Structure 1
């Protein structure tokens, strides 16, 4: 340490006599680029204290002394704008690193001098250097390589790019800053970098809520769920607060497990969303994750945009190689280090935590059959298995999940093959490889986990309404939250890859907000109409009534800005629909908050001015009448009645 400070003071002395290089300093300033100086593996603990001094000496000797720093009058000016982060090698030297950084900053001010320190995984540092300095550093003792820090593109969730909504799309920033989205679900981790408020500015004047943490990122989040329990009185309170706070868009990624509602007056989400609609607030809600079963869609009220989950063109796979060199591919997110070593492969019928044989599973890869709500990898983890292979059910085979140990999932047929291999081989073995990201040409397709329609309460209103990306979504994560579905998973992360209609719902809310920036006076129904009538046709992995899975198709925010025509609906239209469905005055009052006098029935929900048509009646023909607003000249017109023949 003493040697370092002696060297530093020698440099400081040289600065005082380096007055004649001012112009040279300015020129060098413009030539600097970021370089990474790699010095090999992390130093051992006993050498870590010497490491910062070593790096600083290199930078001073090879950078500062070669090109010089100058004092101009009484101000210290950095000739090289030295920016370096010094590797400490261990946490024990963190204090020393801080002191060294402060020392450097003092002598090179006002130039910001430090970038990064690499002290946990390897020995090295980053610095702003000229090409000449980088070459001289390469010849220094202990330096293995010096290379430019190149600019790379993020490999994060690209769902917005996939939807045709990149960051370069046409925008109206001054209007965007006044659109507030509120999320009602399990809450967020406010400290996440995803929610920082850099460059965002003050909240819009219409915002009447409060910011309870230090950031003000214009995202209103209201926690209504604890440990997967979401109470309806909390949900209604959240809707109530949303209306009072002056928000524009609601994203509701929650729903009921049961679907045996008698009517919409029994649904807190339906009631809350109706009141939000009365105040011009658009509500996007998730369709649910129970999969293939028909008539399971949740949040199907016509005044809500009900969102299904779709895939993007990026998917995660994890390969499995058996001892017979057969390689199988399955959806899973395996982030554990793998050794490319064959492990013994055994089979357990269900892999339940309280039914497994530790003598069978410990240190082995376990084949589990099948995936179910309780089969999340906890059993193999608790009983010491190295890894697990899950046989996925039909409703989950296309969705990769993270597991609490090395894992992959396979189809039923592949699972049968593996089981046959185990039973026919004396010493069955397997390797679980690292996960890979591959291109999915079939996207967008409906995720198998999405609940299917039709709505049990309003079957003549097509539900879900629309699909949005909901598979393999990179999301900010609470470090207190479970990384996988296993309660035994002790890992802590700031980001996670998640799938479900809960991820699709915010995408639709964001698309609605984008449309609203161009058309701030449009009603929630008009925005919904724009999103639905401009959606793109989709594919599904199952045959039959696909529209009851993905609705009108994949959301397209850019096209929705100019839909051509709108199917609008107001509070009175929904009230008339409730009357046609024989709701009592009391039940209508629960939903609308108004005393409604019902007139004669007009034909049920099928006659609602909705942007999709789904007729379940069985006469020879059925006539529908729709009212549209043509966007080009803003004249409201009525389409001629059209006949729909029952197939």
Structure 2
């Protein structure tokens, strides 16, 4: 820092003496709390507290006062401390070479770790606290870490009277509280060494806190992503059903958890798991969520992480809210500097700070150990590198490898620079200093290594940068719907990239055995993270409308979602109705409501026979003939409209029949606004809907007529219908697409 900058900061310090201490009013000596920031972490072997005490003793001179003045030492990811100081002492500290800055501990406004603020839900958002505290959100996940501050129950009363669940105790789990009101674990048909609801993975704690987490100030992952961490319905209660273990998540456990959760009295279920696409009647999630729906419980599920490829979306049941992942307006980037002065940065959640100015740099090729027949040294695959060529060095790895950081860590490497893929929009946490750079940048780094006698590099700790958002995450699974082509999936998207939330202290932040970093908070990406955002939004809507059906809440979230701007032609296959807008969803105006019989009508139309549907529904006397004729093309009152073409080279037409229920103002008139591209005609009959009472229903039909669908990539064309009055906009995507290879025909 230049001297002029230090003098300016010293002046600012004196102007800020009126700042209020978080520890109460200043003492008679006039001391105030100051932050003394000293840059990166200390070198290995030094004790931060001793260095801080020694420094402060030189400034204050009275050792006892100096010792008592230190309130807290920063020592894990950066170096510094908080101390009660006088203005002239703060000025003297500013003059020290080892001190970067000194500033008063000022009271600031709360900020979230971004996702809820980004969705328009600041901490001060309008809430129905009395009802929200009666909302119980159930999760089927890896368990929960009850000691997390995100599940603090200060100020809570007893559990809602409707709660019928229980709290199991076990290894590393001593019980629940008034916020975490229930916890169960399941291991039916398989053995686990430590039966307990305790979260030894971190996934369950992360997703749970995203939904119901209490506000926790100064949350971060080793100083990265700092802010106030909180859930979308931070006053709601949590019930955890542990169904996932080291060996996976078993159907037997999932169904047992559904069975308990429905009886226990949960209001919303959030399930961030899936993967195998199976017929509804062979799928534990479809079966369980169907019975939950019948009891008035909305199940929210993740779409999967198999993007950006088509036909990869999972959790396809029409009674489930299926959620894709988007990015928010921040990224975490780790700067890379080469010995030749070149600077670049890559996506990474790198918590490590360098202890040297530069490190030797090599590549996987140069560090090769060709001992195995399947060695791929260029990508730094396991078994392909030699320890003597890696130890103490930063290693550049070409795209395509797996566990490169783990391989280099085990071999004693100092770090790695990995060339990413074309789908590089998500930061990951690694077991040693790492930056995930663009492939073109990787080529330049590789060239530098091969044309320099002693190449060097350094990877810095990650910093937060602003980016344009929202955007669909490349990993987020896409449609179309493999099982039920008449239903657009995913239904909606929510933030799922680089989400900071609570974590377990029973596992390292990467889960790798060579990682000794443990944290109460972690930054993770996946549709597993977007699912709880949507589940919290559903619980938020339910707290204002406790008697709405699951379909009505789902409709409110879908029709008020923010349409996204993307460049690819398969947009709706990636994001469905758009990104959730929880505040708008409180007052959607109109909803597309559904009963269980409506879903059966769809399944009958899809070709499910009576016997199979009985397995799914439990209705012993179900007869598909009673549900005929179907309602238009798809036979279901769904908020979106999807037409699958078996003959895209011919003209086509279809009629969709829909009914909306007025949940807005008593007297309202909605007009249909259609947006459609050339080659597709969309007509709405009637084009105006007039309501004179709340909960009144009105029906309409949408007629599509189109020219032959040109085969361009996905062979897709999209439009939209929006019902609009003076206050509300009720939007429904319309998608027409050709049958894709291996897709089940509808």
Report the secondary structure of 2:471's partner residue. Answer: coil
Match for 1:570 among 588, 595, 599? 595
Taking the aligned partners of 1:327 and 1:139, their CA distance within structure 2 comes to 34
Give the conservation status (yes or no) of the 8 Å contact 2:493–2:579: yes
Q: What is the TM-score normalised by the length of structure 2?
A: 0.69
Q: 1:368 to 1:566 in 2, by over 3 A?
A: same
Distance in 2 (alpha carbons) for counterparts of 1:295 and 1:120: 48
Looking at structure 1, the residues matched to 565 and 145 of structure 2 have their Cα atoms a distance apart, in angstroms, of 35
2:421 match: 393
- Give, in whole Å, the separation in 2 of the partners of 1:498 and 1:473: 5
Q: 1:274 aligns with which of 254, 269, 290?
A: 290
User: Which residue is 1:249 aligned to?
Assistant: 268
C-alpha separation between the residues in 2 aligned to 1:615 and 1:366?
51
Change (3 A) 1:55 1:210: farther
Structure 1: gaps of 5 or more residues: 1-26, 60-83, 88-115, 128-132
Q: Contact 2:110–2:123 (CA<8 Å) still a contact in 1? A: no
614-623 vs 264-273, which moves further: 614-623
- RMSD over aligned CA atoms reads 3.3
In the alignment, structure 1 residue 353 sits paired with structure 2 residue 315? no
* Offset of residue 359 of structure 1: 2.0
- What is the deviation of 1:32? 7.9
1:230 aligns with 2:257: no
Separation of aligned partners in 2, 1:44 and 1:388: 31
1:417 corresponding residue in structure 2: 444
**1:290 counterpart = 2:313:** no
Q: Which has the larger strand fraction?
A: 2
2:120 paired residue number: 164
State yes or no: 1:173 paired with 2:152.
no
Alignment of 1:458-477 (within 5 A): 458-477=484-503
Task: Please name the residue that 2:189 is paired with.
Answer: none
Query: Contact between 2:137 and 2:268, CA under 8 Å: does it hold in 1?
Result: yes
Q: Choose the corresponding residue for 1:519, options 542, 545, 553.
A: 545
Normalised by the size of structure 1, how large is the TM-score? 0.79
Question: Is this contact kept in 2: 1:353–1:382, CA < 8 A?
Answer: no
Is 1:643–2:704 an aligned residue pair? yes
Query: Is 1:584 matched with 2:600?
Result: no
Q: Equivalent residue for 1:108?
A: none
Q: Hey, what does 1:326 align to over in structure 2? A: 342
The Cα of 1:475 is off from its aligned counterpart by: 1.4
- The answer on whether the counterparts of 2:336 and 2:345 sit within 8 Å (CA) in structure 1 is yes
C-alpha deviation, 1:479, in angstroms: 1.7
Q: Residues 390, 119 of structure 1: CA spacing in aligned structure 2 closer, same or farther, 3 A cutoff?
A: closer
The 8 Å contact of residues 156 and 474 in structure 1, kept in 2 or not, is answered as no
Shift of the 431–56 alpha-carbon distance from structure 1 to 2, 3 Å rule, reads closer
Instruction: Give how far 1:237 is off.
Output: 1.1
What residue is the counterpart of 1:610 in the other structure? Answer: 638
- 2:187: which partner in 1? none
Partner of 1:560: 585
Q: Is the 8 A contact 1:292 1:452 kept in 2?
A: yes
Q: Deviations over 1:338-360 (max 9, x none)?
A: 24424323234122222221122
Cα 1:279/1:319, change in 2 over 3 Å: same
| Match status 1:375 vs 2:403 | yes
Where does 1:87-166 land on structure 2 (aligned, <5 Å)? 87=70, 116-118=71-73, 126=83, 134=86, 148-153=104-109, 156-166=112-122
Which whole-Å CA distance do the structure 2 matches of 1:158 and 1:39 have between them? 24
Tell me the CA shift for residue 389 of structure 1.
1.3
Change (3 A) 1:33 1:239: farther
Q: Is the 8 A contact 2:336 2:343 kept in 1?
A: yes
Correspondence for 2:431 among 393, 404, 413: 404
Residue 626 of structure 1: aligned partner? 658
**SS of the residue 1:614 aligns to:** strand
1:621-644 Cα distance to aligned partner (Å, 9 max, x none): 111111111223321000134234
- Taking the aligned partners of 2:240 and 2:415, their CA distance within structure 1 comes to 37
Given that 1:468 and 1:505 are in contact with CA atoms closer than 8 Å, whether structure 2 keeps it comes out as: yes
Equivalent residue number for residue 549 of structure 1:
574
Q: Distance in 1 between matches of 2:259 and 2:538?
A: 21
1:587, CA displacement in angstroms? 1.7
Matched, 1:343 2:360: yes
